[in-house]
Every structure is written in C-alpha cells, then in structure tokens.
Structure 1
Amino acid sequence: MTKIDVKLKTYLNYINGDWVASEIEETGKSKNPANTEEVVGLYQMSSENDLNKAVNSASDAKKAWRKLSGDERGNYLQKAASILEERLDEVALTMTKEMGKTLPEAKGETARGVAILRYYAGEGLRSEGDVIPSTDKDALMFTTRAPLGVVGVITPWNFPVAIPLWKMAPALIYGNTVVIKPASEAAITCAKVIECLHEAGIPEGVVNMVTGSGSVIGLEIANHPEVNGITFTGSNQVGKQLAQIAVTRGIKYQLEMGGKNPVIVANDADLDLAVEATISGGLKSTGQKCTATSRVIVQKDIYQKFKERLLAKVAEITVGDGVESSTWMGPSVSQSQLDTVVSYIEKGKEEGAKLLYGGDKVRSKALKGYFIEPTVFEGVTSDMTIAKEEIFGPVLALMKVNSVEEALELANDSEYGLSASIFTTNISNMLSFIDDMDAGLVRVNAESAGVELQAPFGGMKQSSSHSREQGRAAIEFYTNIKTVFVKG
C-alpha cells in the first residue's frame, strides 16, 4: 500500500483499497480560510482516467458486496464508527482548519457521523420487504429490495463528515458500492473519513474516493456507463445539469440543493427563544447551511422588541478562527464565497433594504482569513434579491407583516422549499403552519437548521429532486423494489 506522507501533507485518492496518486501528478492546495497563510494539505487533481479506475473497481466489487448479509455489511460500518469516534478530535480539528466552522460545531458534526454509521449498521437487520396476499391460494408473493449497483456520491464542503456519511452509509448497507467525489474545499476531511472505513477492513473496491475538479470528476461520474445512481448535494445549477445527464442515461438521481428558509415570529412567541434560534439558525457556520435561516418574518406588534433583542445579541457575536474557544462565528470557506456574500450585501443596499448591522468584511490585522461581519437588514421586500436568492452567508433579512396568514403567504413566496420554522404558543398558528408551509422540513419553536439523522430530509419546489435522505426513507433511493411470486 502506498503510504501518505503526513509531513508533506499530501493526501491521495482511494481506489480499490489502496491510496494512490493521480496519474497526472497534479495536486490542489487546501488553505485554512481563517488563516490563508496556512496550508492544511494537498489533494489530488485527478483525471477522467483516475475516475474510470475507481468506477471499474466499484463495479468489480459490487457482486461480492451484495452477496454479503446485511448484518455482515453492518459490521464494517460499526467498526468504522468506533474508529471515527476514537479520532473525533483529529477529524474535527481538520474540519475546522479546512473549511472554517468552529471546533465545537466540528466536534458535534463528527459525533453525528459516528451516529449515522451506527444507525445504518442496524439497518442490516431490519425488514426490507412485505408479504402480499396472492389471488392464487397456492402461491407465495412478497417484495424484497435490490441495490442499484455503483452509486456516485458528490458532496459539498459545508458538512464534510455528515453529508458524505449520510449518503455513503445507506448506500453501503443496502448493498451498493460507492465512488465519492468530495468538494475540494473539504477533500482532506473526507479523506480522513475514508481512512476510518479502510481501517475497518471494508473490502477492496467497495468504497472509492477521487478528488479534483467538479467539472471533470463530477460530470464524469454522472456520465460513466458503470454508475447506476447519483446522489448530490450542492447548487441548483450543478444539480440540474446532473439530473439532465441522469435522465438521458436512465439512472436514478437524488438532488439536495438550495434553500431560502424563513422563520415566522408570531405576536405570542417567546421572544428570547425566537431571537436565540434565529441567530443560531441563521449565523452559525457563518450561514453556510442549506437549512440556514435567511428571511425573518415578524408580526408588526412585536417587531420592534424582537429587532432590538436580535441586534443586541448579534452585537455579542465574536468572529474569528474556529479553533479559538472565544470564537462564535468563523470565516467564509473561500475568497469566492466571501466575495459572493459581499456582493449580495451590496445588492441589498442598492435595492433599498436598510442595513442595521454589519455588512462589511472584518477589518483586523490579527485576522488573515475570509471574515465577514454578521449582517442584518430590515425593510426587505419579497422582490429584492436578498429575499429571493440563496446567499450562503451570515445575512438576515427582516420582514414585517400584519398577521400569521400574511407571514405564511410571504414565507411561501419563494422558488425554494427546504426548511422553515415558526415561533408561537398558539395551537391554531402551529397547525396552519404545518399544513400550509411548502417546505420539506417544518419546525415549531425551533430553529430552521435542525436535521435529525433518523428522520427523512429533503425539500420541495426547487430545493430537491423530491426524494428524501436519511432515516428509513434512504432505502427508497438506494434500492429498487423487486416483487417475487413463488408457486410450488
């Protein structure tokens, strides 16, 4: 096996159970977004031929992997979970240094990765079909599940442990083999997750990782004739491109994309709870979550009180390096993401929104990264760009309404429908919100960004391909139903 030279901080592709360098011998540089003078490591800039080797390896391994029992496959996931748990601090620190989220958030996400592996390990012993009465009294009819085969996994940088695992773990337990292409901004963190699967002894070819350009590796995964399904989390533009390829090829695809998530604050809300959840949901992880709170829709009678409390709390936020215990909010992940956030802030001001707080890069000689201030606008209307487009940064848009009915209408005035929350103590408001909100995840008296691994997750409208990830719902994508009729 080719060993990784830790001193050089060079991380290799993982193909057919071995760590291998790209054929083109080119590497990309992963910089710490909190300190751009620090290089976290080097990753492979791979070629189509590298990807082809990985897919062929997965294709060769799929028959033997499928023939194992669910319990046997689950044992590998259990072992990987224990290894990841042992390395939690190391993986979390790598995550913080590579993509910027605070260390407590990174530790929480890594622990969630452990839980995901253990949850799906248990899936190996759960029911996968039903017995169905036949019109023939002498026959037995039932359903079972067949894996897709080779699954291409394309993941973003914002949850570099949780998202790869909530895609790979169900794919594996249901009998598929995997080729993963992580975002370059999180390639090293993903490599450390793959190390855990490798050390758990997962058979050669069952899991493969190829890093590099999305326009090369991502598209090649979608186009490869041996790939039987694609699961993707990322931008709408790329997701739709992948969907078109998948439809042309006649393979399954699963897309989780953008969000423009609202929180509604009713007159009867617990204001302190609503403020805390709005800040947590909108500004933690520097707003770089697809479920992050973006639009804050508040009834007019309590608007002023809510705004004052919100601004007071936002003013307490400390921005800095995520490894420092005093830091509440870290940097944007990259220069391009920082520039995107700044451009949206400028657009908000140009279109007439009133800037209440922040709105600029952090100016500090002590900070040498991609830092932006937490930002709050008011006077935002639904036709403004910052009310319509996903910013993926720490920007809150306050919107004032007369009633909960008006709030719901405004909340639904979006092409997205991923998550939403309401703060109210009124049962009627709660039920109206649950029934009328066009979002795949609706939460009452809780922030919009909460996702639990045992529950289905996915969006409506332009936020997803209308499939669901996580929990038992994952089996619907990663397998096909097979109906069996047996007559003696």
Structure 2
Amino acid sequence: MSDSKQNYIDGEWRDASTGETIETTNPAAPSESVARYQQSNAEDAEEAVAAAASARDDWAATPGPKRGAILREAASILKDRKEELTELLTREEGKTHAEAGGEVQRAVDIFYYFAEKTRDLGGTVKAASGSQTNLYTVNQPVGVAALITPWNYPIAIPAWKIAPALAAGNTLVLKPATVAAGTAVAIFEALDEAGLPDGVANIVTGPGSTVGETLVSHDDVDAVSFTGSSEVGEMVYSKATDDGKRVQTELGGKNPTVVSDSVDVDEAAEIVANGAFGVTGQACTACSRAIVHADVRDEFVDRVVEHADAIEIGPGDEYDMGPQVTESELEGTLEYIDIAADEGATLETGGGRPEGERFEEGYYVEPTVFTDVEPDYRIAQEEVFGPVLAVIEVEDFETGLRVANDVDYGLAASIITENHTEAERFVDEIEAGVAKVNDGTTGLELHVPFGGFKRSSSETWREQGDAGLDFYTIEKTVYDSF
C-alpha cells in the first residue's frame, strides 16, 4: 500500500477538491508503488494563491532574522531526516544512494545558507548632494511567488527557489513535478514543524495544464520561477510576462566539454564520463558533447568507453547508475540513439537496454558513446535527457570553440586543457552561463549565480546566492530630508 500525501494550503494538509490521486512507482521496479499525490485542479491552485496573498503582508513585515530562524530550524529537521529522504528520492526518482544523499544534503545546505543571508538583507546608504538629506535604499519582497519545478532534482531545485523566496519575505505556492514529489512535500513538512506561519508557503501537486497554468496566470501572483524544458518554459515566460509578472526560467542544455590536445587523456576521459553518465544523464548540465582534438581523439574514445563499460547498472541503492525516471524518458533516449545511428554516427558502446534478470522491470539504458558525430546531427544539437555522449572530432581550438557555441542552448560548458591562453579565450568567448576549466559541466556551488544563455534561460534573473535573492526583492530608493 503506497503512502498518500496531501496538499499543504494555508497551514493545513488537504485533499484535492477532485478527490483523485496520482500514484508514483519505483523506476527500478515499476510494479512497486511508492506514494500517492493529489490530482489537484485550478480550484486547489486558486486556494493556495489566496492563502499566500492573505499571508503576504504579515510575512513581509516579519524581521529578516526571525524568518531566518524558521529556515534554520527547517534545515535542521531535513538534516535529521536525511537518510529517510535519501531512500525516498532513490525509490521515486531512481538516483543512486550516493547521488540522492548528496542532493538531500544540498537542500539542507541551501536552507542553512539563506537562513544566514536574512541578516544581510538591508539596503545601502549613499551620500546625498544636500547636507539635510539621508539617501539610502531598502529591499522589499516582490510579493507572491509561483514556483514550478522538475523531477530530476526533486528536492534541490525546490529548495533553491523556496529558501531565497522566504528569506526575502515573499509568500509562495510550489507546484512540483508529480513524478517525484515526495522530497518536495518533505520540505513543507519541515517548514510546518519549524513554525512557519499559515499561508506563507503552500504546495499543490497536479498537472501543469491546470495547476501550473492557474499559478502562472493568476492576478495575485507577482513572480514566477520555472525550471523545466525549453518548450514549456518559453510558453510560461510568454504568458507570465504578458501579464506583467517578474519571471525567471532555467531550461534545457546541450553542454559541451572541449578536450584540447594538451590534456592528460585519462583525466579528461574521467571528467567527461562523470559528467555524461552521472545521475543517468538526467541533468540539465550533463555533458552531452565531447569536442575532442584530432590528435587525442582515438585515445580519448578508448578511455571514455572503458569508463562507460565499467559502470554497473541497477537499482540505485546498490549500483553505480540507476534507471531513467519513467518509461517515456527511457523511450525518448532510445529514440535518440536510433536517430544517431540513422544519421551516420558510429556506436562505440551501449546503445540499448541492458540484458539480465535485474533489468527485466526497470527503465534501464546502457551508458552510450557515439563517435563520427557531425556538429549538425540532431544528436549534437538537441537535448537528450539520458546517458548518451556524442564525440565530435575537431582539428584545432578555434573549430572546437565554434562547434561548442553552434547550438541553441548555452547552460554549462567546460574545457580541459593545459594551455592557459585557450582557457582564457574559452571563458571569454563561450556562450554559456556556467564556464568551467579542467572540470566537468555538472556540479554547482550554491552561493554563486546559476543560469544560462540563449534557449537555456530567459536571460533575466539568475538563481542561487545573492542573485537568487535579487529575483525575490525589489529595491526602493529613499530620500529622507526630515
């Protein structure tokens, strides 16, 4: 019997007005039910927005350090539940135990971080032209925020939206992806236990077509933060900005790692393999293109294939790489593998579902490496949300940089090189919001800005760190000549 979770609206746990629920299953064993969530509709979303709007003024007037104390207590509660939430995340999303544990810890760290930032939310003092005037700024919350989050980081992404929104004095409604909503619900359990006032934070599960649409278009919502696919995000951005809302979107990626001829090939292959196959390739920052200098191409391919072949696939609580989250995600990855072969790419390893008794049920796919990929192939241009690496051979750094930029996306990018001039040019000229040198495309610090260029982002507001607070605050300039 699966656990049934309710919506959290105005400080109460409630069933959806539809009376219906949605079941989630374990992607490693789809016959195993994990939990049930509310199949909410527009009415539930409207109730949540009304609660947030009602609580807005009192929460905005709450001193920052007092807000921080609640965030700090919520972080402590999540920390105490870390092992339980790690197991839930693994069963619901499919990550390995180590990956899930790291993600839960990141959510804890985010709440602790923004708890401390509440002490520094004052404005700035400036010198006025007149001797009788005090000139300064104050930062005020934007108001009610609608947060829409994906399934691939089901506790970290909600955390890095919720924590700065609350720290800055906003109220909010979260619509998580129902495919893996359990750890997001746990955040609200922690906030409730920590003493968050009624209505300040609300969670409603259900379809984007009803719950998400209502949140994005609601007159009482002042800001929208969305993470998900570029196609949906662009529609969200258009709708919300038409209504005059402040909007932040973080979307897809087609992230390259440029491998120079000066590298230690073993090290380069390990960096790329970790970025391509970690979290089953289901990360918006995953490395999906290795752009490799011809002089080291053959050796690099041999080494990265060795890494791929060494990965043990299976349930996340025991193996190196877990399943994809749903059957549709698996089918999408397998379709791209077929497309790559049809286009003329050479399959070096992987390319299908693994065989064996433990793979009979789950949504497993082999770590896959293609070579002889041309830059205009779909496998080199479109986001593949699975463990698939396209190796593109180039003759020099100039060509590699041009190929790296020649896509519609610009989220994360890296270069592996011993040439300092190449590294400096890469940082200056790469069209990506995150640029790394001698490191993988995945892995983010929580206290620095995160966001993309081109179709990877609305290119408006960044997330995380001080930039995350900027989105949730509006600055007022005060001339005090009293």
Q: Same fold (TM over 0.5)?
A: yes
Alignment partner, residue 390 of structure 1: 383
Within 5 A, what are the aligned runs for 1:446-461? 446-461=439-454
Alignment partner, residue 182 of structure 1: 176
Residue number among 30, 44, 58 corresponding to 1:64 in the alignment:
58
Give the CA deviation at 1:23. 1.0
Within 5 A, what are the aligned runs for 1:366-377? 366-367=358-359, 368-377=361-370
Change (3 A) 1:127 1:168: closer
Q: TM (normalized to structure 1)? A: 0.97
Distance in 2 of aligned mates of 1:97 and 1:207: 26
Give the CA deviation at 1:476. 1.8
Deviation sequence 1:134-161 (CA, Å, 0-9, x none): 2222111111111111100000000011
1:43 has 2:6 as partner: no
SS of residue paired to 1:328: coil
Deviation sequence 1:71-122 (CA, Å, 0-9, x none): 0000000000000000000011100100101011000111111110010001
1:409 has 2:413 as partner: no
Alignment partner, residue 438 of structure 1: 431
1:307 has 2:301 as partner: yes
Alignment partner, residue 159 of structure 2: 165
Distance in 2 of aligned mates of 1:48 and 1:234: 21
1:378 has 2:368 as partner: no
Identity of aligned residues (%): 43
Alignment partner, residue 22 of structure 2: 28
1:357 has 2:340 as partner: no
Deviation sequence 1:429-469 (CA, Å, 0-9, x none): 11011111111000111110111101110001111011210
Alignment partner, residue 268 of structure 2: 274
Residue number among 185, 201, 213 corresponding to 2:207 in the alignment:
213
Q: Is contact 1:267–1:424 with CA below 8 Å preserved after alignment? A: yes
Q: Is contact 2:280–2:386 with CA below 8 Å preserved after alignment? A: yes
Distance in 2 of aligned mates of 1:40 and 1:68: 38
Distance in 2 of aligned mates of 1:481 and 1:250: 17
Distance in 2 of aligned mates of 1:475 and 1:136: 32
5+ residue gaps, structure 2: none
Q: Is contact 1:65–1:176 with CA below 8 Å preserved after alignment? A: yes
Q: How many residue pairs are counted as aligned between the two chains?
A: 480
Structure 1, 450-459 or 132-141: larger mean CA deviation: 132-141
Change (3 A) 1:127 1:146: closer
Deviation sequence 1:156-206 (CA, Å, 0-9, x none): 000011100000000000000110000011112211222111111111111
Distance in 1 of aligned mates of 2:231 and 2:216: 15
Structure 1, 275-284 or 360-369: larger mean CA deviation: 360-369
Alignment partner, residue 316 of structure 2: 322
Distance in 2 of aligned mates of 1:269 and 1:434: 17
* RMSD over aligned Cα atoms: 0.9
SS of residue paired to 1:124: helix
Distance in 1 of aligned mates of 2:285 and 2:332: 18
Q: Which amino acid aligns with 1:178?
A: L
Distance in 2 of aligned mates of 1:425 and 1:203: 54
Deviation sequence 1:370-415 (CA, Å, 0-9, x none): 0011110001111110100001100000011111111101100011
Distance in 1 of aligned mates of 2:15 and 2:80: 27
Residue number among 115, 118, 123 corresponding to 1:129 in the alignment:
123
Structure 1, 129-138 or 345-354: larger mean CA deviation: 129-138
Within 5 A, what are the aligned runs for 1:50-199? 50-199=44-193
Deviation sequence 1:278-334 (CA, Å, 0-9, x none): 11111111100000000001101111111111111111011110011xx11111110
Alignment partner, residue 334 of structure 2: 342
Give the CA deviation at 1:362. 2.1
SS of residue paired to 2:357: coil
Deviation sequence 1:26-49 (CA, Å, 0-9, x none): 000101001001000100000111
Give the CA deviation at 1:8. 4.7
Residue number among 418, 426, 429 corresponding to 1:425 in the alignment:
418
Distance in 2 of aligned mates of 1:127 and 1:219: 32
Distance in 2 of aligned mates of 1:139 and 1:449: 49
Distance in 2 of aligned mates of 1:363 and 1:410: 35
Alignment partner, residue 4 of structure 1: none
Distance in 2 of aligned mates of 1:78 and 1:476: 20
Distance in 1 of aligned mates of 2:2 and 2:305: 45
Q: Is contact 1:357–1:374 with CA below 8 Å preserved after alignment? A: yes
Q: TM (normalized to structure 2)? A: 0.98
Q: Is contact 2:2–2:33 with CA below 8 Å preserved after alignment? A: no
SS of residue paired to 1:39: strand
Q: Is contact 2:64–2:121 with CA below 8 Å preserved after alignment? A: no
SS of residue paired to 1:185: helix
Q: Is contact 1:98–1:189 with CA below 8 Å preserved after alignment? A: no
Deviation sequence 1:183-236 (CA, Å, 0-9, x none): 011112211222111111111111100001111111110011111100000011
Q: Is contact 2:121–2:139 with CA below 8 Å preserved after alignment? A: no
Q: Is contact 2:7–2:13 with CA below 8 Å preserved after alignment? A: yes
Alignment partner, residue 456 of structure 2: 463
Deviation sequence 1:334-390 (CA, Å, 0-9, x none): 011111101111110111111111111223332211001111000111111010000
**Structure 1 outlier segments of 4+, above 4 Å:** none
Give the CA deviation at 1:428. 0.7
Alignment partner, residue 237 of structure 2: 243
Give the CA deviation at 1:128. 3.3
